[in-house]
């Protein structure tokens, strides 16, 4: 699918950014920034945790548990946000003086997601006094009920969108629950538990816990490496508060002030700590942690994050790297199969696909369907749900959904559930991603309802892929200094995208690398200067002849090779330049 290219529109008033360079002014303005204060990424700019509804109650419960030396059990999730949330909760509670802290992550293949009654039964074997959910729990009505019936105090910390009915927990901390004044609704699960631990430290201080025990009061900033990693990996919008989390965390990682496990994962991936970017967290570190939860047990990933041993961290990181390689192979096979299914569908339907596409095969791996849905959504530019069997008999199907701008996927699933409560038994998620369980016997009907609800919410123009760029760079802006400036001008991420530019270039040289990549030397029409450029995994690497003049979408990048630092243009889209007069 060939995307359209559109340049971002500048707002009429950019006076609040007048002191910035023209390039940065236009980049920030088109991302909704209207004043320099919104670019403050210091810790003093962090949203006040005390604004979060339920946080005082949660901190009071946890403070009492710490002081009374009660048994605390954290129940996490099996993705990177869940792993970092769990690790942060365990490490912070131990640093705050909790005597008994343990964690439990449900096996996704046996228990599924969240605090279910079945996982509560497993938790009860550890005899906790207080159970704390991280990155889950807001939809666990029955699980919370089972835990409280067993005499366990329950504190729910989550960030997923709540349903109409909330669990009857002793405390709920979720910025997306009603009447919550916390300004950052986009906080990831790890951001929520960080705020809870920060307020807990304050309550313990007020109760003279540190003075009476002689325990050194921990600096909560030591956990920001985990907050940065979980926030980026969960692809939550980078509002100002999340940018503070990411910027402060990544500064510490670059300086080497991070968990041994994070350092080991970065090193195994072949990245330099000092030059680490948020993109590296999202595409290099995060997937290696996620691989444990996708294929085996996220406890392995959590161990990597909580160990204090450099050697143990490196050993576990190597194990996670191997799991990630296996995940890549599974994903490639599933994607190839899905593309065959789509091609067969197109052939049989006269070239028409459903607006809301559901894909299923009994051989697909439940832990990888989210990645598959994301890949197919990118290719087809429409909401996609990929399904896999949830049990050996395939009586139930697990689905993972990815959406496009304009369709709130969780709300769409809610409408389906309202229309047919018997079809969609479990679901939850965000605007752009969600998970669900569907009875196999109702799968066809679910597909029909999903497609009809998508059609009701979108227009044909929504299904056309569009690349938004920051316009053209002037010849004097195409420099290494510009690339370095832009790298440090973030942090960039979801809904605060890294700048990309577009323009016409002359092809001076080209060669194929590794059979899938294209290495280029490009020139600017009317100028003698030339630029190195590379396009990864491009269709133009299949042997076709490049035109002499191309239109590219690109990102200026800092290329470090054999001790030399040079400007390189990373090409994300390449097409022939329009013929003059078109």
Lookup: tokens for 366: 């439940």
**pLDDT 10s digits, 431-466:** 889 999 999 999 999 999 999 999 999 999 999 999
Q: Which domain-ending residue is among 300, 321, 342?
A: 321
Q: Determine the pLDDT at residue 370.
A: 94
Query: Which of 397, 384, 393, 395 shows the shortest CA–CA distance to 436?
Result: 397
**Same domain? 512 vs 368:** no
Locate 46 and state its tokens: 């962090």
| pLDDT confidence of residue 392 | 77
Contact between 189 and 85 (Cβ < 8 Å): yes
> Rounded to whole angstroms, how far apart are CA atoms 76 and 81?
9
Which of 447, 463, 479 is the C-terminal boundary of a domain?
Answer: 463
Residue 104 lies in a domain: yes
Residue 555 lies in a domain: yes
Q: Which residues contact 243 (CB under 8 A, 6 or more apart)?
A: 41, 490, 491, 496
- What span, in angstroms and rounded, lies between the C-alpha atoms of 359 and 344? 12
Half-sphere exposure (Cβ direction) of 19: Cα atoms closer than 13 Å: 5
- Determine contact, residues 387/360, Cβ cutoff 8 Å: yes
- For the chain, the straight-line distance linking the first and the last C-alpha, in angstroms and rounded, comes to 21
Q: What are the tens digits of pLDDT across the range 297-340?
A: 899 999 999 999 999 999 999 999 999 999 999 999 999 999 99
CATH number at residue 455: 3.10.310.30
77 shares its domain with 119 = yes
Nearest 5°: the CA angle 224, 230, 236 is: 115
pLDDT in tens, 25-46: 999 999 999 999 999 999 999 9
The per-residue pLDDT for 544 is 78
442 shares its domain with 506: no
Residue 330 covered by a domain:
no
On whether both 314 and 368 belong to a single domain, the answer is no
What's the domain count of the chain?
3
Residue 235 counted as domain residue = yes
pLDDT of residue 580: 60
The domain boundary residue, chosen from 463, 486, 510: 463
For residue 66, cis peptide bond before it (omega within 30 degrees of 0): no
Averaged pLDDT for residues 349-376: 94
Residue 528 lies in a domain: yes
Same-domain pairing of 501 and 387? no
- How far apart (Å, rounded) are the C-alpha atoms in residues 111 and 537? 38
| Residues 432 and 552 grouped into a single domain | no
Bridge-based pairing of strands 130-133 and 153-157 is parallel
3-state secondary structure of 509: strand
Tell me if 345 is assigned to some domain.
no
Q: Which residue has the tokens 């889950």?
A: 136
How many other CB atoms sit within 10 Å of the CB of residue 295?
20
- Is pLDDT at 582 greater than 50 in this prediction? no
CATH number at residue 242: 3.90.1640.30
The answer to whether 531 and 542 are in contact (CB under 8 A) is no
- Backbone conformation region of residue 556, classed left if phi is above 0, alpha if psi is from -120 to 50, else beta: beta
Q: Is 485 exposed, middle or buried (0-12, 13-18, 19+ CB in 10 A)?
A: middle
**47 and 170 assigned to the same domain:** yes
| 373 and 412, same domain (yes or no) | yes
Summarised one tens digit per residue, pLDDT across range 259-285 is 999 999 999 999 999 989 999 999 999
* CATH code (residue 493): 2.40.50.460
- pLDDT of amino acid 276: 93
Q: What is the pLDDT of residue 1?
A: 55
For 397, the domain range is: 353-463
Beta strands in 412-540 (DSSP E): 424-429, 433-439, 466-469, 501-513, 517-523, 530-535
Examine the domain organization and report whether 103 and 128 are in the same domain: yes
In-domain check, residue 495: yes
Residues 391 and 437 in one domain: yes
Q: Could you tell me if residue 327 is inside a domain?
A: no
- Residue 310: CB atoms within 10 A of its CB come to 12
Whether 301 and 436 map to the same domain: the answer is no
Q: Which phi and psi (to 5°) does residue 375 adopt?
A: -65, -45
Using DSSP's 3-state secondary structure scheme, residue 417 falls into: helix
One domain, residues 522 and 569: yes
pTM score: 0.93
- Residue pLDDT, tens place only, 61-77: 999 999 999 999 999 99
């Amino acid at each position: 699918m060939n995307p359209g290219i559109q340049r971002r529109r500048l707002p009429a008033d950019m006076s609040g950014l007048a002191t910035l360079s023209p390039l940065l002014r236009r980049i920030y303005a088109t991302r909704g920034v209207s004043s320099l204060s919104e670019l403050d990424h210091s810790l003093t700019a962090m949203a006040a945790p005390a604004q979060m509804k339920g946080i005082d109650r949660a901190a009071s419960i946890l403070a009492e548990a710490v002081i009374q030396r009660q048994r605390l059990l954290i129940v996490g999730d099996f993705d990177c946000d869940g792993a970092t949330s769990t690790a942060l909760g365990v490490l912070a509670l131990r640093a705050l003086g909790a005597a008994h802290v343990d964690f439990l992550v449900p096996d996704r293949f046996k228990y599924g997601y969240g605090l279910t009654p079945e996982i509560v039964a497993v938790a009860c074997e550890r005899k906790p006094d207080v159970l704390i959910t991280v990155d889950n729990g807001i939809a666990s009505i029955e699980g919370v009920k089972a835990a409280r019936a067993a005499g366990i105090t329950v504190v729910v910390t989550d960030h997923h969108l709540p349903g109409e009915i909330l669990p009857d927990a002793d405390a709920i901390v979720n910025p997306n629950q009603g009447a919550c004044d916390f300004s950052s609704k986009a906080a990831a699960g790890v951001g929520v538990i960080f705020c809870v631990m920060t307020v807990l430290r304050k309550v313990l201080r007020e109760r003279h816990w540190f003075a009476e025990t002689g325990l050194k009061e921990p600096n909560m900033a030591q956990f920001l490496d985990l907050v940065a990693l979980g926030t980026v990996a969960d692809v939550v919008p980078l509002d100002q508060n999340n940018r503070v989390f990411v910027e402060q965390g990544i500064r510490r990682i670059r300086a080497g002030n991070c968990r041994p496990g994070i350092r080991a994962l970065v090193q195994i991936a072949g990245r330099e700590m000092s030059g680490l970017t948020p993109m590296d967290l999202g595409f290099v570190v995060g997937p290696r942690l996620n691989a444990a939860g996708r294929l085996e047990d996220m406890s392995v990933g959590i161990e990597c994050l909580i160990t204090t041993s450099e050697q143990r961290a490196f050993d576990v990181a190597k194990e996670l790297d191997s799991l990630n390689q296996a995940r890549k192979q599974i994903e490639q096979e599933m994607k190839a199969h899905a593309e065959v299914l789509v091609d067969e569908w197109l052939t049989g339907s006269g070239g028409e696909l459903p607006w809301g596409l559901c894909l299923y095969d009994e051989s697909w791996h439940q832990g990888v369907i989210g990645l598959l849905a994301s890949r197919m959504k990118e290719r087809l530019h429409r909401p996609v749900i990929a399904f896999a069997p949830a049990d050996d008999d395939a009586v139930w199907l697990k689905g993972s959904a990815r959406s496009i701008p304009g369709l709130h996927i969780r709300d769409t699933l809610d409408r389906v559930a309202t229309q047919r409560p018997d079809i969609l038994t479990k679901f939850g998620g965000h605007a752009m991603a969600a998970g669900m369980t569907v009875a196999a016997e109702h799968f066809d009907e679910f597909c029909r309802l999903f497609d009809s609800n998508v059609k009701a919410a979108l227009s044909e123009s929504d299904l056309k892929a569009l690349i938004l760029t920051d316009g053209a760079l002037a010849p004097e802006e195409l420099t290494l200094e510009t690339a370095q400036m832009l790298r440090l001008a973030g942090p960039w991420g979801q809904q605060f995208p890294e700048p990309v530019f577009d323009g016409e270039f002359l092809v001076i040289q080209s060669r194929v690398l590794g059979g899938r990549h294209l290495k280029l030397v490009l020139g600017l029409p009317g100028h003698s200067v030339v630029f190195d450029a590379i396009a990864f995994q491009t269709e133009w690497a299949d042997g076709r002849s490049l035109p002499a003049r191309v239109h590219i979408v690109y990102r200026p990048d800092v290329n470090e090779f054999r001790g030399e630092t040079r400007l390189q243009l990373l090409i994300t889209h390449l097409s022939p330049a329009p013929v003059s007069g078109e």
